[in-house]
């Protein structure tokens, strides 16, 4: 049996996903968590083989979380799930160390395939992801400047219309820190205003579908 731990900050979605997984004969729900801190507290006693990890979890940046997971739970395969488009996020999270990425719009059957794939020790990408990765290698000039994981999160928050206070509360940082990241983004991307940063996020397909 493949024991799956579900980490997502939306309780209703998390419960619904766990309930669906429990109906699949070879799956078992190892546990749930709504924050990164809660996840690391519960994982040691969960006997999880696969971790379903939402991108936008309260706590540290995703890159830091994945690094810690690889160090403390090397046998747990991490499948990142998100509402963000595969084209802009799949390659990024796999480079960070995730075993795979799946957009939340996919049906439970596709999720089951992804879970079984990473549980077997193989990386998982959809056919679309593989095609997108190949195109990005062929057209490196179209890739955005390298941003830190936190900078990307702030950029996505701006594009989604979040206020500084909302972003700060969700990421567990201060509004002043969010402003600092916004200034760094403007410098890196050559943007003269928040409106230009928002347009950049939209044009690059960085917002949830």
Select from 49, 58, 51, 56 the least CA-distant residue to 26: 49
Q: Structural domain of residue 167, as residue ranges?
A: 149-203
Q: How many CB atoms lie within 10 A of CB 39?
A: 24
Shared domain for 154 and 115, answered yes or no, is no
Measured on CA atoms in the order 140, 143, 147, 152, is the torsion positive or negative?
Answer: negative
Residue 207 has a pLDDT of 65
Select from 19, 139, 116 the least CA-distant residue to 6: 19
Give the single-character DSSP code of 145: P
| 16 domain-assigned | yes
Shared domain for 18 and 75, answered yes or no, is yes
Residue 208 has a pLDDT of 57
Domain count, the chain: 2
Tokens linked to 98: 């995730």
> Full-prediction pTM beyond 0.75?
no
CATH code for position 184: 1.10.10.10
Q: Which parts of the chain register pLDDT below 50?
A: 134, 137-143
Tokens linked to 92: 């990024």
Residue 141 has a pLDDT of 41
Which ranges in the chain belong to alpha helices (H)?
11-22, 36-42, 62-72, 86-96, 108-119, 127-138, 149-159, 164-171, 175-189, 194-203
Shared domain for 100 and 177, answered yes or no, is no
Shared domain for 83 and 162, answered yes or no, is no
């Amino acid at each position: 049996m493949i024991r799956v731990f579900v980490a997502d900050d939306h309780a209703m979605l998390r419960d619904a996903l766990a309930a669906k997984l429990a109906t699949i004969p070879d799956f078992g729900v190892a546990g749930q968590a709504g924050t990164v801190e809660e996840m690391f507290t519960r994982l040691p006693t969960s006997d999880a083989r696969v971790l379903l990890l939402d991108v936008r979890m309260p706590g540290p940046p995703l890159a830091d979380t994945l690094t810690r997971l690889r160090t403390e739970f090397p046998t747990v395969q991490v499948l990142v799930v998100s509402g963000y488009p595969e084209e802009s996020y799949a390659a990024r999270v796999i480079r960070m160390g995730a075993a795979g990425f799946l957009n939340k719009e996919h049906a439970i059957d596709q999720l089951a395939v992804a879970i079984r794939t990473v549980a077997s020790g193989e990386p998982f990408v959809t056919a679309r992801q593989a095609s997108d990765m190949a195109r990005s290698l062929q057209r490196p000039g179209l890739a955005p400047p390298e941003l830190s994981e936190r900078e990307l999160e702030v950029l996505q928050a701006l594009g989604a219309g979040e206020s500084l206070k909302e972003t700060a509360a969700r990421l567990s940082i201060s509004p002043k820190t969010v402003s600092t990241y916004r200034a760094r983004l403007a410098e890196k991307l050559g943007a003269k205003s928040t409106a230009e940063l928002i347009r950049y996020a939209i044009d690059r397909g960085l917002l949830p579908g």
